[in-house]
């Protein structure tokens, strides 16, 4: 950390003039934006926008993920003083990154939320920026996928999760974090045989054609081999990466709505994500962080690191 900069920098979320570069603002002080990037609704000149989707009314168990984006932003304040470790380049200095704030919506009209998300994310993409979203429950991915597919065509999906979220649901009015991927497949916005789900450890016989590397496979193969297998499956196809924090074992991420034992470690997830360098990542999200069940903040810390890795993955092929 630069001692002189730390003495003078404060509220970089509002006061920083440049969209690039580190921030040495005291971790414990100031307004918390993601990685101390500038809050801005004006995305002119922005390469990547981070946005919050604070919706959690589609959960089957414990709520609280509406508070996830705020917690992830605060947890990210540990990181912006240095380049992300091990990448060999500094995404914060080479790309213009902004925090576009959260999506506005009527909390009492949940059926309208998927379309609001689609329009919100589409607005970011139409401004010429990529989008990394902070959830929210996993249903928020559906609207984000719709927006990305409208821009890039049907997508491969790399999904880190304890659950496949492909349970059948043909009721268009329902919003459910366990059925959104089924609907995405039915809509033709996802290409299942070029997609992969990592860390699965709950039963759902109908895979809809997704390739599955369940938690046992990850533990047996090792994270490096998992990353290589993902490259084989996805190839050069445009892809979207969604990371449900319950992919991690509850020992590493207790603050989530539907925790399942036997999951990935933080180390395994970090190695896999780093090993995905070179994929044609169009956008992504990290979801299902529930701060009320995260007393030490470890889940939010993990999610903040995942979101940073997504920025690095996006930038890797665009340096």
Spatial neighbors of 94 by CB under 8 A, at least 6 apart, are 20, 315, 319
User: Where does the pLDDT of residue 3 fall: very low under 50, low under 70, confident under 90, or very high at 90 and above?
Assistant: low
Tokens of 148: 């990305």
The answer for residues whose C-beta is within 8 angstroms of residue 27's C-beta and 6 or more apart is 77, 78
Total residues found in the chain within this entry: 319
pLDDT at 244: 98
Whole-angstrom CA distances from 242 to 142, 161, 281, 286 are 10, 8, 11, 6
Q: What is the mean pLDDT of residues 32-41?
A: 97
Query: Looking at beta carbons, which pairs linking 88-91 to residues 24 or more positions away fall under 8 Å?
Result: 89/315, 89/316, 89/319, 90/22, 91/308, 91/311, 91/312, 91/314, 91/315
Quick one: pLDDT band at residue 249, thresholds 50, 70, 90?
very high
Percent of all residues in the chain with a pLDDT value above 70, rounded to a whole number: 99
pLDDT of 172: 84
pLDDT of residue 179: 87
Q: Which residues are annotated as a binding site for Mn(2+)?
A: 138, 161, 163, 165, 244, 246
Where are the chain's structural domains? 3-316
Mean pLDDT score, 4-18: 90
pLDDT value, residue 7: 87
Annotated binding site: 138, 161, 163, 165, 244, 246
For the segment 22-38, the average pLDDT, to the nearest whole number, is 95
Residue range 65-104, pLDDT digits in tens:
999 999 999 999 999 999 999 999 999 999 999 999 999 9
Across the chain, mean pLDDT equals: 96
- Does the domain at 3-316 match CATH 3.30.70.20? Answer given as no
Write down the pLDDT at residue 270: 98
pLDDT digits (tens, 9 = 90+) for 119-177: 999 999 999 999 999 999 999 999 999 999 999 999 999 999 999 999 898 888 898 88
The three-point CA angle 199-181-269 to 5° equals 25
Model confidence pLDDT, tens digit, residues 201-246:
999 988 899 999 999 999 999 999 999 999 999 999 999 999 999 9
Q: Are 2 and 23 in contact (CB under 8 A)?
A: no
The band of 2, judged by pLDDT with boundaries at 50, 70 and 90, is: low
pLDDT at 1 over 70: no
């Amino acid at each position: 950390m630069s001692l002189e900069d730390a003495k003078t920098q404060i509220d970089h979320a509002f006061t920083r003039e440049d969209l690039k570069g580190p921030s040495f603002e005291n971790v414990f002080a100031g307004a918390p934006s993601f990685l101390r990037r500038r809050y801005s609704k004006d995305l002119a000149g922005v390469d990547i926008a981070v946005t919050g989707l604070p919706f959690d009314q589609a959960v089957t168990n414990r709520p609280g993920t509406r508070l996830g984006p705020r917690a992830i932003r605060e947890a990210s304040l540990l990181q912006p003083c240095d380049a992300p470790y091990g990448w060999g380049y500094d995404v914060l200095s080479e790309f213009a990154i902004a925090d576009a704030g959260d999506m506005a919506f009527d909390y009492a009209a949940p059926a309208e939320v998927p379309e609001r998300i689609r329009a919100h994310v589409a607005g970011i993409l139409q401004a010429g920026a990529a989008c990394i979203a902070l959830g929210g429950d996993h249903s928020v991915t559906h609207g984000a996928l719709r927006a990305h597919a409208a821009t890039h065509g049907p997508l491969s999906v790399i999904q880190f999760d304890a659950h496949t979220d492909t349970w059948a649901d043909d009721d268009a009015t329902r919003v459910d974090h366990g059925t959104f991927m089924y609907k995405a497949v039915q809509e033709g916005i996802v290409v299942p045989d070029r997609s992969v789900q990592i860390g699965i450890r709950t039963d759902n016989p109908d895979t809809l054609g997704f390739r599955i590397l369940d938690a046992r496979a990850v533990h047996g193969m090792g994270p490096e081999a998992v990353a290589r297998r993902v490259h084989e499956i996805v190839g050069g196809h445009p892809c979207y990466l969604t990371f449900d924090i319950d992919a991690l074992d509850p020992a590493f991420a207790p603050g989530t709505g539907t925790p399942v034992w036997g999951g990935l470690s933080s180390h395994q997830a970090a190695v896999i994500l780093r090993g995905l360098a070179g994929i044609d990542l169009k956008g992504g999200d990290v979801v299902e962080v529930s701060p009320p069940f995260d007393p030490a903040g470890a889940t939010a810390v993990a999610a903040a690191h995942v979101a940073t890795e997504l920025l690095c993955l996006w930038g890797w092929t665009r340096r």
